[in-house]
Amino acid sequence: MTSNLEMNAPIESTKIPLEKIDPYRYRIPRSYNPGMRVDGIIYADEKLLGDILKDKAADQVVNVAFLPGIVGHSMAMPDAHWGYGFPIGGVAATDPKQGGVVSPGGVGFDINCGVRLIRTNFQFDEIQSELQNLIRVLFRDVPSGVGSKSELSLSRQDERDVFLRGSKWAVAKGFGTDSDLEATEDYGAIAGADPAAVSERAHKRGKEQIGTLGSGNHFLEVQVVEKIFDEQAAVQLGIFEGQVTVMIHCGSRGLGYQICEDYCREMEKCLSKYKIEVPDRQLACAPVESIEGQTYLAAMRVAANYAFANRQYIMHMVRKTFEKVFRKSWQNMGMNLIYDVAHNIAKIEKHLVDGKERTLCVHRKGATRAFPPGHPDLPARYQKIGQPVIIPGDMGRYSYLAIGTKEAQETFYSCCHGAGRLMSRTQASKKFDSHQLLEELEAKGIFVQAKSRGTLTEEAPGVYKDVNDVVDVVHNAGLAKRVCRMRPIGVIKG
C-alpha cells in the first residue's frame, strides 16, 4: 500500500508516542515497541484523539501491529474504542503468502453486523400524520429484543441454503428482488461458506432468529434527509432533501456470537502450534492458509451470509408494513435499497502494496468497506460514483451517507462504521434515566419504541461520540466523501 503520509511534530498526551502527520492522522511509530511489525495510524482530530486515548484503544492499535504478515499499518478509525483484541474501529490487512494470519478478535462477535439504507419517494410532510402509527406497526411486525424469535419456520435445507446463499436465498423465496442483491455488498453472499465448520450450538442459537433485530445497539430507524452535501451523487443515488429513508442495523445474532466464541478458543491453541507471539491472547490467530485459518473463515462466512439474509428479510417486513400503513405497493413508494454494507468481517481482497497487487486478508472490525469509483467489485450503478458508505450515529442526532474514494487506498478502502461509544453500558445505565430520555427525544420530534427501558439508557445519545465529528474526519482525511445527512424521526430498539 502506498501512502504520502508525512511526519510533523510529536504529541506527548500519552505514554505512547504520537506523531502528528496532519490534522486528521496520527502515527504510532513501530520503533515504540520492538514487537511491532508496522506503524500504527489513528485517524482523528484532536478532540476525538482524546477520547480514543482515554480507553486504551491506542494500546490495541500497537498490539495489532504485532500480527504476523501484517502490511501497511495497524489502523484505528475516528470512532475507535476499546474492544476484544482489536479496537472497535480497527483495520488491519495481512498477506497470506507472507505468513499472514486471520484473527477472530479482528472480526468481532457480531459477525457481519451491518447497515442497510432504503430510500422512499415520500417527503416528510407526506407521512408526518401517520408517523407514530407507522413506528408502532413496525415495532409490532419486526421482532426485536433479547431472545426475539422469527415468524419464519425454516427446514434444515432452508437453513443450509441461508448459510450458503445469504440474501440470494431470501430473494429466491420472494423476500426481495435481484435489484436488492445488486445493492448489497458481495451481492448478499460470500463464497466459501461451509456449514460443516459451524458447531451444533451455534446452529441452534441462530435457528429461530432470521428476521429479528436483536438488542443493544441494533435498530430500525425512519429518517429524513436533512442536508445534501454532494448534489450530483445524491441525484445518482435517488436522494433528495426532505426525503424519508429507512435504516436497518443488525447482524448475525446468536449464530455469529457463538461462532466467534468457538473459534477464539480454538485459535488460542494455534499460538503455540505455529509459534505465534502476540501481546494479548485476545489476538489469538492462525495463518490464513492453515487448516484452522481456512476453517474459521468458512464459519465466519456462514455467519456473514446469515446476517445478509437477516437484513434482507427485515427489509421485506418493513416494505410490507409500509404497504399496510400507506395502502400502496412498496414499488410505488420507491422503497429501493441504496446499499447494504458489512462491518465486523475479514475479507480476501486484492490491494496495491508498494505499487504491487497482492491478495490480502483485510480485517474490518467496527469498520466498513469503502470501494472507490471504478472498482471491479462494484455494480454498474455505482461504478461512476463509488460505493455507498453508511455511517449511523445515535438515535438523538444524525446518520450519514457517503461514497468511497480512491484516496482511501491507504486504509485498504476502509472507513468508520458509526459514531463510536464513549462509555460502557453499565456507566450509561447509571447516568441516564429512560423516562427523561424519552421526553427529550420526543421534544426533538423523535418517536421511540423499545422492548426494554434498559436498552434506551444504554443507547442514549450521550453514550456516543458526535457522529458529525467522526464524519468530518473521514471526509477531510479523504477516506469517504459526504453525500447527505439524515436525522431520525422514528426509532425501534430491542
Catalytic residues: 417
Contact 40, 75 (CB under 8 A): yes
The sign of the CA dihedral 323, 389, 382, 227 is positive
Q: Which of 57, 108, 54 is nearest to 82 (CA)?
A: 57
DSSP 181-249: HHTBGGGG--TT--GGGS-HHHHHHHTT-TT---STT-EEEEEEEEEES-HHHHHHHT--TTEEEEEEE
C-alpha span between 290 and 396 (Å, rounded): 46
Residue 15, CB-side half-sphere exposure with 13 Å CA sphere? 6
Between CA 259 and CA 305, with CA 303 as vertex, the angle to 5 degrees is 170
Beta bridge partners of 359: 350
Provide the 3-class DSSP secondary structure of residue 98: helix
Distance CA(143)–CA(131), nearest Å, equals 19
Question: Which ranges of 128-199 would DSSP assign to H, the alpha helix?
Answer: 131-141, 156-165, 167-172, 178-182
Q: What gap in Å lies between CA 79 and CA 329, rounded to an integer? A: 38
- CA atoms of 82 and 89, how far apart (whole Å): 9
Phi first, then psi, for residue 101 (nearest 5°) are -110, 165
Set of cell numbers at residue 491: 426509532
Whether 64 contacts 341, CB under 8 Å? no
Q: What end-to-end distance do the CA atoms of the chain give, in Å?
A: 41
Please report where in the chains the cell 511489525 appears, as a residue: 37
